[in-house]
Structure 1
Amino acid sequence: MQSREQQLVELVDTAGSAAGTATVEEAHRAPGRLHRAFSVLLVDPDGRLLLQQRAAVKTRFALRWANSCCGHPGPGEPVVAAAARRLDEELGVSTPLQEVGVYLYQAIDPDSGRVEFEYDHVLAGEYDGPVRADPGEVARTDWVRPAELAERLVRFPEFYAPWLGGVLDAWRSAAR
């Protein structure tokens, strides 16, 4: 099986139009190459959000808390299909997903020097069932209320993935 770092991602321009391909490793090497990504937020019936603490082996922002699941579609792969696949791989979860927004961000991991420069499709789904996290991907999971998460992001940003605030904002904007 090909390592995740050698898989191809779709490079994009700032409008999200395809502009070529690169490996995951190449796209995340400084200064970073803008590429398509997705971030999933799962919401339970009480309105809580499922967060995951990224596994220690992650090459970018290891052990930081992030949204339920994230990843990269392959070149030309539908974003929702890729997100559903990764949701099953990382958390053992299957649920319908809907795109609720897109945002662009760039962040350098201070530990690894790798760069996230992503055109991030934010997807949301409702879920109220068991989570079977893959320990190679996820250290821990937790359900948290959106207002509590927003407060934590301000008070303790170093514990969270740098894209999580933008994911939360996109989800909140769509819910209005």
Structure 2
Amino acid sequence: MTNKVVPLPYDPFSNKLAVELPSDPKDLQQIFHDMRTGEGLFNHAVKLFAHCPKRPKEALKVFMRMLVFGESSNAYTYAVLIKCLTEDVKFVEACKYVLEMMDKGMRPNVQTYTCVFEGLVREEKLDEAARLLEQMKGKGFVPDEKAVREVLASKKGTVFRNVTNLLFGNPL
């Protein structure tokens, strides 16, 4: 799998960054302090996860430290964390955080839930994928077939077929 960095938000009119990057992206304590004192969570979540480590365990460590410092997560931080976690096929915490996100009243976007199901299907964990889908549906989740097909458009073959079959009720 490739290690992708989530792109930073840009101001569409000036083509400049919409957020100012921290002087020391590894100074998590300062970033968390700044979250509480004015600029808000979104701005600092972008700063934090723009420099998110490329290894899942490090991403989870950053997320946990954020919580320890008293910051609550939002849909964006969950989405970035889940994406980081799905980068490593041996690290299956992504399912746990999708469900936790939903328990907090947030809904995963199509890219977030698709990457989780894609990883499970690719690793032939079809039973686990089916269990996750049932748990998500129990929380009100309804997958968007058109959006999933758009996200998976460049991924034809068995993974594409198995993910769409799983999500939309066709037998695997």
Q: After TM superposition, is the score higher than 0.5?
A: no
Q: Who wins on radius of gyration, i.e. which is larger? A: 2
Structure richer in helix, relative to its length:
2
Query: Which has the higher relative contact order, 1 or 2, with Cα contacts under 8 A spaced 6 or more apart?
Result: 1
TM-score, with normalisation over the residues of structure 1? Answer: 0.26
Structure richer in strand, relative to its length:
1
TM-score, with normalisation over the residues of structure 2? Answer: 0.26
